[in-house]
Amino acid sequence: MKRILIVGAGGQIGSELTTYLRKIYGASNVVATDVRECGKLAEGGPFEVLNALDAKAMSSVVERYKIDAIFNLVALLSAVGEKNPQTAWNINIGALMNALEVAREYGCALFTPSSIGAFGPTSPKDKTPQDTIMQPTTIYGVCKVTGELLGNYYFRRYGVDTRSVRFPGIISNVTLPGGGTTDYAVEIYYEAIKAGRFTCPVPGDVYMDMIYMPDALRACVELMEADPARLVHRNSFNLASMSFTPEIIYAEIRKRIPSFEMTYEIDPVKKAIAESWPNSLDDTCAREEWGWKPEWDLSRMTDDMLEVIREKYRSEVAV
């Protein structure tokens, strides 16, 4: 990768990936785009307002900046998507098809994240294999499976260098999530510092795979820089780091904040989605084909999350 376009840079992943890539490849070589103005991203390097559903506009940006790699991060997340499945399909697949066509036309590599949500209740729950039955019960998952198939099709049919990972729930101390089933695992840290209590929307015994944002960002780069000759799979690699329930993360926080309390107010939509997903993923293929290895576990992540969030609130109070 030399000149990179990020589509959907204003989201949870994109806002941090933009900064991460600019540090590696140089600020002028990473073009951030979003459907609306994003001041901070525009301050750090090239920024364009771009509707990912406008194929001509996407082509124009790729041509003007001589882009050779595209990160398509546009998506409505799981819980939000269930409120309006038609909109979720139109946005998620519309943006992907435009990115695939532009990548084909201009010879770009293309990264599009898939998700643990691509699996469904009929997939094996524990150590879910790389290649297994995938029958998701959400429009978000349907879009992700479709995206994986389209990525493989464009690689085999047109030679487009498509690559993807199935992200677990992503936990970040920088950008808040926006409508995902795993959002609770971010919100719980903020509420632990801010209020000392948290109301959890998913059952306390439901396991879900998670990953800390620094590992997620590193995985994106490592996969895109991997030797293509080693890649047996492309779209999409299981990615694993840690798996826990709300009760486990609650206990981890209480080790550091003994007064912290958690109660439950179950969201039936999030409950159904969470229970349909795997407990854990088998990421052997990612480890073998491009050397994936997580660096963060639950304990180390908890220390870092609480430290950073405390500092945020200290700064707000000081202001």
pLDDT, one tens digit per residue, over 143-189 is 999 999 999 999 999 999 999 999 999 999 987 766 678 889 999 99
pLDDT at 318: 56
Are residues 157 and 25 part of one domain?
yes
Per-residue pLDDT, averaged over 17-36, amounts to 96
Q: Which long-range contacts (CB under 8 A, 24 or more apart) does 16-19 make?
A: 16/172, 16/174, 16/175, 16/213, 16/217, 17/71, 17/73, 17/217, 17/220, 18/44, 18/45, 19/44
Task: Name the CA dihedral angle for 133, 220, 177, 78, rounded to a multiple of 10 degrees.
Answer: -20
Q: Kindly state whether residues 100 and 187 are assigned to the same domain.
A: no
Whether residues 73 and 129 share a domain: the answer is yes
Give me the mean pLDDT over the 240-261 stretch.
Answer: 97
* pLDDT at residue 317 greater than cutoff 60: no
187 CB burial (10 A radius; 0-12, 13-18, 19+): middle
Q: How far apart are CA 69 and CA 66, in angstroms?
A: 10
Please report how the helices 12-25 and 213-224 are oriented relative to each other, as an axis angle in degrees rounded to 10: 60
Question: What average pLDDT does this structure show over 11-19?
Answer: 92
Rg (Cα) of the chain, in Å, rounded? 19
What value does the mean pLDDT take over residues 27-42?
91
The reported pLDDT for the residue numbered 175 is 76
Q: Are residues 185 and 304 in the same domain?
A: yes
The pLDDT of 115-119, averaged and rounded, is: 94
Residue type, 32: A
For the segment 1-23, the average pLDDT, to the nearest whole number, is 94
For residue 318, what are the contacts with CB-CB under 8 A and spacing of at least 6? none
Mean pLDDT (whole number) for 188-211: 95
Number of other CB atoms surrounding residue 140 within 10 Å: 27
CATH number for the domain that contains residue 142: 3.40.50.720
Q: Of 3-7, 82-86, 132-136, which range is least confident?
A: 82-86
Decide: 278 and 206 in contact? Cβ < 8 Å.
Answer: no
Please provide the average confidence, as pLDDT, over all residues in the chain: 94
134 and 256 share one domain: no
Do 124 and 174 fall into the same domain? no
Model confidence pLDDT, tens digit, residues 297-313: 999 999 999 999 999 88
Q: Give the mean pLDDT of 55-66.
A: 98
Q: What is the mean pLDDT of residues 107-132?
A: 96
User: Quick one: 298 and 255 in the same domain?
Assistant: yes
DSSP-derived pairing of the beta strands 208-212 and 242-244: antiparallel
What is the structure's pLDDT at 80?
80
pLDDT at 117 over 70: yes
150 and 229 within one domain: yes
| pLDDT score at 176 | 73
Catalytic residue among 20, 25, 106, 140: 140
Phi, psi for 267 (deg, rounded to 5): -90, 115
Q: Do 185 and 64 lie in a common domain?
A: no
H or E segment and range at residue 133: none
- Domain span holding position 188: 170-209+242-318
Query: Is residue 71 located within the same domain as residue 198?
Result: no
Whether 116 and 192 share a structural domain: no
* Residue finishing a domain among 223, 238, 253: 238
Active site annotation includes 140: yes
Give the chain's length. Answer: 319
Q: Find where tokens 């010879």 sit.
A: 107
- For residue 177, the model assigns a pLDDT of 66
Q: Contacts by 313-318 with C-beta closer than 8 Å and gap 24+?
A: 313/193, 313/194
Q: What is the pLDDT of residue 82?
A: 86
Co-location of 175 and 285 in the same domain: yes
Return phi, psi of residue 169, to 5°.
-60, 135
The number of domains in the chain is: 2
* Residue indicated by tokens 């469904």: 120
